[in-house]
């Protein structure tokens, strides 16, 4: 039985996790055209959909809400049936594109804790893993999903930072907590949007292995402003080359 490769990206907000996840999905789809690849937008900021050029009409949270609503309306039998159908409903919720499938966690209508949908996401990752060869998860900013063991089953934990001290500190904190709560096989860091290579010497990520540093990518930045997806980025763009190097270091690509 093959082991599904599950890559989850985590780090401080605004460091480019979503762009790197999108780049990895593209690279995997191009390298392995026959593989089953799933991209999961687990960040309530909902950026991965735009990065991949997809639009999700339904989300994981929509499924969870329908189950909860059935219970609250005194229809437990219907709720049990819904749970039994959850796997099929999740597949119906996915957006299918050439080379990959896409699933969004969604964003609760009211502000506050995401713990309910995060708990559901944990079960979904476990449920779906065996149906795909590669799963790329764009995690929410910070440490919440690590703390709640949402991402405990990933095989590769990708910590993304920029060259700021705060970004590196968040990455190190996530790694320290993940050592106890996540059953990952490999963990590594990407330093993204590096404008001055001399600044890299000041980025302290020890004991995390630094997989690659990625220069600031002007073409990608311009594409984002224009609303273009990762598939419209040139092959030699720094973002794609850097994401590819990280996957090669892990012997995934």
What is the reported pTM?
Answer: 0.89
User: What is the overall mean pLDDT for the chain?
Assistant: 86
Partners of 93 in beta bridges: none
Domains of the chain, with CATH numbers?
Answer: 5-249 (3.40.50.300)
Q: What is residue 235's predicted lDDT score, i.e. its pLDDT?
A: 96
Question: What pLDDT band is residue 80 in, cutting at 50, 70 and 90?
Answer: low
In this predicted model, which residue has the larger pLDDT, 127 or 134? 134
> Largest alpha-carbon pair distance within the chain?
63
Q: Classify 101 as helix, strand or coil.
A: strand
Q: What is residue 78's predicted lDDT score, i.e. its pLDDT?
A: 61
Contact 156, 187 (CB under 8 A): yes
CA atoms within 13 A on the CB side of 149: 5
Q: What is residue 123's predicted lDDT score, i.e. its pLDDT?
A: 74
Mean pLDDT for 70-98 is 72
Least-confidence region, from 40-49, 73-82, 138-147, 179-188: 73-82
Tokens 């080359």 correspond to 241
Q: How many CB atoms lie within 10 A of CB 222?
A: 11
- Find the DSSP H helices in the chain: 17-31, 48-52, 60-72, 76-93, 115-129, 144-147, 165-181, 218-225, 238-249
CA distance 12 to 126: 25
Q: What is residue 148's predicted lDDT score, i.e. its pLDDT?
A: 64
Q: What is residue 172's predicted lDDT score, i.e. its pLDDT?
A: 95
pLDDT digits (tens, 9 = 90+) for 96-122: 999 999 998 876 554 445 556 666 677
Q: What is residue 112's predicted lDDT score, i.e. its pLDDT?
A: 47
Q: What is residue 14's predicted lDDT score, i.e. its pLDDT?
A: 92
Q: What is residue 233's predicted lDDT score, i.e. its pLDDT?
A: 98
Residue 27 has pLDDT above 70, yes or no: yes
Least-confidence region, from 56-70, 146-160, 229-243: 56-70
Burial class, 151, CB count within 10 angstroms (exposed 0-12 / middle 13-18 / buried 19+): buried
Least-confidence region, from 2-6, 101-105, 160-164, 167-171: 2-6
pLDDT digits (tens, 9 = 90+) for 195-235: 887 777 778 899 999 999 999 999 999 999 999 999 999 99
Length of the chain: 253
CA distance 59 to 40: 11
CA atoms within 13 A on the CB side of 200: 17
């Amino acid at each position: 039985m093959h082991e599904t490769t599950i890559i989850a990206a985590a780090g401080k907000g605004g460091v480019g996790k979503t762009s790197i996840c999108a780049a990895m999905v593209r690279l995997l789809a191009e390298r392995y055209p026959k593989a089953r690849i799933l991209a999961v937008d687990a960040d309530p900021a909902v950026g991965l959909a735009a990065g991949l050029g997809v639009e999700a009409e339904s989300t994981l949270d929509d499924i969870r809400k329908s189950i909860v609503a059935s219970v609250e309306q005194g229809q437990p039998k219907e709720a049990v049936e819904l749970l039994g159908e959850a796997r099929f409903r999740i597949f119906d919720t996915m957006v299918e594109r050439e080379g990959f499938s896409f699933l969004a966690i969604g964003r609760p209508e009211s502000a506050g804790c995401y713990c309910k949908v995060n708990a559901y996401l944990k079960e979904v990752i476990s449920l779906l893993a065996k149906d795909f060869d590669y799963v790329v998860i764009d995690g929410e900013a910070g440490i919440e999903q690590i703390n709640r063991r949402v991402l405990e089953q990933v095989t590769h934990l990708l910590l993304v930072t920029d060259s700021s001290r705060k970004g590196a500190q968040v990455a190190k904190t996530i790694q320290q907590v993940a050592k106890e709560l996540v059953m990952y096989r490999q963990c590594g860091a990407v330093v993204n949007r590096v404008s001055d290579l001399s600044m890299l010497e000041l980025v302290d990520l020890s004991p995390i292995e630094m997989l690659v540093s990625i220069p600031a990518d002007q073409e990608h930045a311009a594409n984002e402003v224009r609303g273009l997806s990762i598939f419209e980025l040139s092959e030699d763009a720094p973002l794609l080359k850097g994401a590819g190097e990280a996957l090669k270091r892990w012997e995934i690509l």
